[in-house]
Amino acid sequence: MVIAPRDFRDEEYFKPKAILEKAGFEVVTSSFKVGEVQGAGGKTTQADVLVSEVKPEEFQAVVFVGGPGMVDLVNNPDLIKLAKQFCEAQKIVSAICVAPSILANAGILKGLSATGWSGITQNLLQKGANVINKPVVWSGKVITAEGPMASQEFGETLVKALSQ
């Protein structure tokens, strides 16, 4: 799971993480700094590894978490590169809230159905996505979700995709 070094959206990280772990998946948290990071809601977690150190061959999926801290990072070259690497490796690429913009900016959503926070709809459309007004959209190996209210369904969809 990839989170901003501060102000990631707590529900979009903690809820899917708990669902994945309960289903038996190991979750590694990545950010632009290792150690303690704080969500926008005040909860903290540990970032295990730097974004630059993530190797797609070591994981089944990548999950980009949204939140105010991710808004300024949707054009970050390291995040775009990571999304492309997971896509090229035919791994599951997922994002929630503002984070589907990372996938759009990486060219991954072109021709696919996707969703995200309403504030990024134009970017998704401009980058060729078929935007669907649903909490969670699963299109091929790509899973996108609207925001915090979709966190539960997002986590459950990730488990389904990873269990196939």
Q: Which residues contact 23 (CB under 8 A, 6 or more apart)?
A: 159, 162, 163
Q: Residue 74: inside a domain, yes or no? A: yes
Q: What's the CATH number where 41 sits?
A: 3.40.50.880
Among positive and negative, which fits the CA dihedral 64, 51, 15, 67? negative
In a domain, 151, yes or no: yes
Size of the chain, expressed as the number of residues it contains? 164
Q: How many structural domains compose the chain?
A: 1
**Is the pTM value of this prediction over 0.95?**
yes
| Segments forming the whole domain that contains residue 125 | 6-162
Residue 1 domain-assigned?
no
23-63 pLDDT tens trace: 999 999 999 999 999 999 999 999 999 999 999 999 999 99
Position 59 scores a pLDDT of 98
pLDDT at 52: 96
Which residues are 93's β-sheet partners? 62, 142
Q: 23: alpha, beta or left, given left = phi > 0 and alpha = psi -120 to 50?
A: alpha
Per-residue pLDDT tens over the stretch 105-141: 999 999 999 999 999 999 999 999 999 999 999 999 9
